[in-house]
Amino acid sequence: MLDTLLPRINLTPEPGSDPKLYFGPKTVRDVWLEIGFGAGEHLADQAASNPDIGFIGVEPYIAGMAKLLVKIAAQDLANVRLYQSDAREVIETLPEAALGRVFLLFPDPWPKKRHHKRRIVSVRMMDALARVVRPGAELRFATDDPGYLVWALERFIAHGSFRWLAQGPPDWRTRPEDWPETRYEAKAKASGRPCAYLRFVRR
């Protein structure tokens, strides 16, 4: 798969280009981005359920890339493009208001304080996402790490570009029906770690 399928769906970001064009002319009505898709369970399910949406999946690790490629081939998913590196490299090339949804699901919490600067949720990332996510679009974040949950909420709320949609605890304790479970999430639950599901909308 790495030698055959990946070259066909590998993304080569072009600065300023409409991301819909990565999927062919008039093929998709919107583009969603998943940052760090792990083994790809969520991305594959979303792509299968939304064939008119183009999905850009970014994952630096080759093992996760290989696992998702198997799912793409098995389900014959034509609406997925992959990028094996840093998500910021893709985001920087996108025009303003280019994305209809972004997923940040169970990113590495980098729990040691000296490593917090490596966390993907940062003021810099919030600035970048605020630029490329269109008003009214949704950003989804999930974690099983209590410290990272507080960290992320502080930064999302302080930034001001994203409004948290939760009205009460059930809204962030329960995963929405259109939010497929990931393998990491299942392992966290099996280990007794509760998961938080945060949904934000671009103001």
Residue 26: predicted pLDDT = 80
Q: What is the CATH number of the domain that holds 171?
A: 3.40.50.150
The mean pLDDT value for 94-103 works out to: 98
pLDDT tens digits, 136-187: 999 999 999 999 999 999 999 999 999 999 999 999 999 999 999 999 999 9
Instruction: Look at the block and give the residue holding tokens 């997925």.
Output: 80
pTM above 0.95, yes or no: yes
pLDDT band at 118 (very low <50, low <70, confident <90, very high): very high
What is the total count of domains within the chain? Answer: 1
Q: Which domain holds residue 71?
A: 5-202
> Are the beta carbons of 113 and 75 closer than 8 angstroms?
no
Q: Point out the residues that are catalytic.
A: 108
Phi, psi of 95 (to 5 degrees): -75, 170
Residue among 13, 17, 19 at smallest CA distance from 31: 19
Instruction: Residue 58: name the closest of 83, 23, 24 by CA.
Output: 83
